[in-house]
Amino acid sequence: MASQPVISQNKPTVRTPDVLQWYCRSLKSCAAELGAVFRHVGQPAALLLRETRGTNPCIQGYEGHFEPTIVHTQTNKKKQGQQPDEVVEAQAAIFIRRDVPHVKLDTGKYCNRIQEVVAVRCELGGR
């Protein structure tokens, strides 16, 4: 007679990730979703975010690093027949939890009106 597989009734333990990458498409509008992620898995040491869409994005408990160079045209003014404004907003961002030692690297020479590059050197998980 074949033995039956043992199915654990214990829920898996969720380990807080060292790094969380997210294509958030506006940090301001996704703040509640990010809070839900933090409640579920804890606060990662580093957040790598794309499309933050803010002039000064911030997350409580984290230090933010960005190189805002991409220029956007405000399309709502185009629709209203007004001259559109060009706005420079941070798109790529790295947020490092404040208790993690880190140094922002100079990436200015790689940034331009169509590309943002952000880099941080840090030590995660004793590695």
Please list the residues that pair with 73 across neighbouring strands: 86
Parse the chain into domains and list their residue ranges. 19-122
pLDDT given at position 6? 45
Q: What is the pTM of this model?
A: 0.76
CB 20 within 8 A of CB 44: yes
Average pLDDT over residues 30-54: 89
The token pair that represents 21 in the structure block:
């990458």
C-alpha 108/C-alpha 119 separation (Å) is 10
Q: Please report, in angstroms and rounded to a whole number, the separation of the first and last CA atoms in the chain.
A: 49
pLDDT of amino acid 29? 87
- Sorting pLDDT into bands at 50, 70 and 90, what band is 8? very low
Separation between Cα atoms, residue 111 and residue 50, nearest integer Å? 15
